[in-house]
Amino acid sequence: MWLKHIASATAVLAVTSAALAGVEEDRSTIARLDTEYQAAVERNDAAGMAAILHDDMVVVLGDGTVLTRHDLLEAARRKTIVYEKQVEEPGTQTVRLYGPDTAVVTALLWVKGKYQNGTPLDIRLWFTDTYVRTQQGWRYAFGQASLPIPAKSEKPQPVEL
């Protein structure tokens, strides 16, 4: 009888270990994809971005602007911004899995460069990127970006709740 219990416990541990390994593999894949996406944006690499973006992808900016996959790829092709930096601040990326097919990435992003007209850009903002598992693998489906975070010398205004 005790052998039956040991065999059952061993089977449960094996399944649990495999599931945890799958979760960690997904988390690692998504973290890598999100970092690759930021690097593709920095290079204005529309093909690299397209490989990661879901066909129905949209991003909502802090000012309420909604950009589609097409908008993002066109901006890259036209080099609307020439980037010096489009990187996640080290240690700020968190990947959370919600079920087997949805993941959310949050991180602090540093964006530095110049617009085509020469206007400089140097901001930090928080973003949330949602990835979904598709038949083609994980794809970036929805994003939100905060307004730029005030420089450390600027005193933040209190928020009333």
What kind and span of H or E run contains 137? strand 137-145
pLDDT digits (tens, 9 = 90+) for 42-68: 999 999 999 999 999 999 999 999 999
- What band does 5 get if pLDDT is binned at 50, 70 and 90? low
Q: For 38-47, 78-87, 146-155, which range has the lowest pLDDT when averaged over its residues? A: 146-155
Domains and CATH numbers, the chain: 2-145 (3.10.450.50)
pLDDT for 28 equals: 97
pLDDT for 98 equals: 97
124-141: average pLDDT: 98
pLDDT for 151 equals: 81
Contact in structure between 130 and 141 (CB atoms under 8 Å): yes
pTM: 0.81
Q: Residues 44, 47, 50, CA angle at the centre, nearest 5°?
A: 100
3-state helix, strand, coil in the chain (%, to 5): 35, 40, 25
Beta bridge partners of 126: 108
